[in-house]
Every structure is written in structure tokens, then in C-alpha cells.
Amino acid sequence: MRPSRIIPWLAALALAGAAAHADIPKRVVSVNLCTDQLAMLVAGPGQLVSVTPLAANPRTSAMAEEAAAIPVNHARAEEVYLLKPDLVIAGRFTDRATVDMLRRLGIRVEEFAPAYALSDVPDRLTRIGALLGQEARAAELVDRFNAQLAELSSSTQDRPQAALYYANGYTSGDASLAGQILRAAGFDNVATGMGYGAIGALPLELLAMADPDVVVTGNPYPGASRSEAIMDHPVVTALKRGRVTGTVTDRNWVCGTPYVLQAVEDLVALRRAVEAGQ
């Protein structure tokens, strides 16, 4: 696989400075993994004062190295309040008690819904740019994201069949960020053909009957997990035997940031390997 072109320009933008505005929030706290990374990409120097511990975990965060230099919070209202933020950015599923308490204390809280489509990435970047007064920085990220996605996306008519298969036997259809990543890379998703929209449990029997060209499984976490044991089931093992396989690396798949392009690029390489073996 050729060296990635995704990470260098994102890293450069993450480290670059941004123009200051008199009215932008000066102390921003993020209490969600995905808003952590959006803020790190867009915030000006010193503007982002705290992120969650997940942001510094390389298994879950594509920006773990950048997050290591930022103080952490655990999304508790008391500790966030003591940081004296003038803006808190949260996820739609951030603990409601924390969000409600901070608002009662007079702190501005802005919530972001999870990304369910690749088109949500520019939307999230534009919004975080407006909130942080870093519109030009966000616009540059959006332009680069759109250009790179167009370059990576496949328009081929002869698309290999792929199945996403995670812990507890879950899969994702095209109405999900993971499903759209798969489709952009040039695969047809067997789950979509079975009627799955976003996410749902895929019985092993249906997976076996679909007989996809490739099975893309989750990347197991250290230690034993009954939920992940299904990925080693004989049915899954048989479907992988003698075929090209892939794994989902959570840090590039779970959040609607430009790092989803790395997931697309990885799957493009996987598709080419599948096609070469056919």
C-alpha cells in the first residue's frame, strides 16, 4: 500500500495557527470524543483548554498525539465548571445531567449529533468553525476533505461484495457512517441488500448465505470478550479462509472527522487486493 496522503495535511493543519477574533470563545471545553477531535482540528492556539481522556487513546482517537498535550476532563459538571469555560461542546448523547447542570449554571453548551453520513463531515467542520470563530480554518479543511474524498471514491460498476461484522454480530448498512465509508471505497454492502439501514444484528446464517467477497471485522480489544468471540466463529473463519480480509480501526471510523478518509483509503487498498485475487 502506498504511503497515506491523508494524515500529513491533517497534522499540518492541526498544528498551524489561526487568526484571532475579539469575540470568539477563549476557553473551550469538549466533553465528547468526536467534538474533542473536531475542536483540535479547528481551534486556535490555546483556545481549547480540555478534552476527554478518550481523545488521548490511540485505539479510539485519530488525534491521540495532539490530545496528549491538553488537560483532560471526565464530563462531570463540577470539574467542567471549575475550568471556567465560555463554551462547552458536547455530543447528543453526552450525559444529560452534565449538560443540564452546566446550562443551569449559565454556561453555553453546544451539542453535536453523531455523523451518519460522509456528507456530515463538512457540516460538522463548518459548524465548529463558526462556534470557535475559526471559519477560514474550517473552510480549508472542508475543501481538502471534499477534494480528497472525490479522488478516493470509486465509480466502478463491478463492485465486490463486502460485509461489516462487529462484536455481538452487529453490522452496518448504507445509512451509517461505516456503510458510507465502505461504499465510497468501491464495495457493495451485503447488509444493505438484506434491508439493513443503519445498524443491526446479522445472524451468522445470513452472513454465510450472503457469501461476501470480503468480511471486514472489528479490531479486537486486548483481553477476552464474549461479545467479540463471534468474530472467531467457524462460520466467519470459513468465510475468511483463502480470501483477503480487513479490520475496522475504530479511531478512523467512529467520528465524523476528516480522518474517515484514512478508513476509505485503507478499504480502497483492500478492494484492489480483492480484485487482484479474483
For 79-110, how does the pLDDT look when each residue is reduced to its tens digit (9 = 90+)? 999 999 999 999 999 999 999 999 999 999 99
What is the b/e burial string over 193-212, where b = at least 16 CB atoms within 10 angstroms of the residue's CB? ebebeebeebeeebbeebeb
Q: Model confidence over 38-88: pLDDT tens digits?
A: 999 999 999 999 999 999 999 999 999 999 999 999 999 999 999 999 999
Q: Model confidence over 102-140: pLDDT tens digits?
A: 999 999 999 999 999 999 999 999 999 999 999 999 999
Mind listing the domains of the chain with CATH numbers? 6-150 (3.40.50.1980), 161-277 (3.40.50.1980)
Confidence bin at 13 (pLDDT 50/70/90):
low
pLDDT at 22 over 90: no
Maximum alpha-carbon separation in the chain: 61
- CA 98 from chain centre, in angstroms, equals 23
pLDDT at 242 over 60: yes
Q: What is the model's pTM?
A: 0.86
Confidence bin at 11 (pLDDT 50/70/90):
low
pLDDT at 157 over 90: no
Residue 39 confidence (pLDDT): 98
Cβ pair 216, 179 in contact under 8 A:
no
- Name every residue whose Cβ is closer than 8 Å to that of residue 267 and which is 6 or more positions away in sequence: 181, 182, 184, 185, 186, 187, 216, 246
E strands, the chain, are: 28-30, 48-50, 87-91, 109-112, 161-165, 170-172, 188-189, 199-201, 214-218, 246-248
- Computed over every residue of the chain, the mean pLDDT equals 89
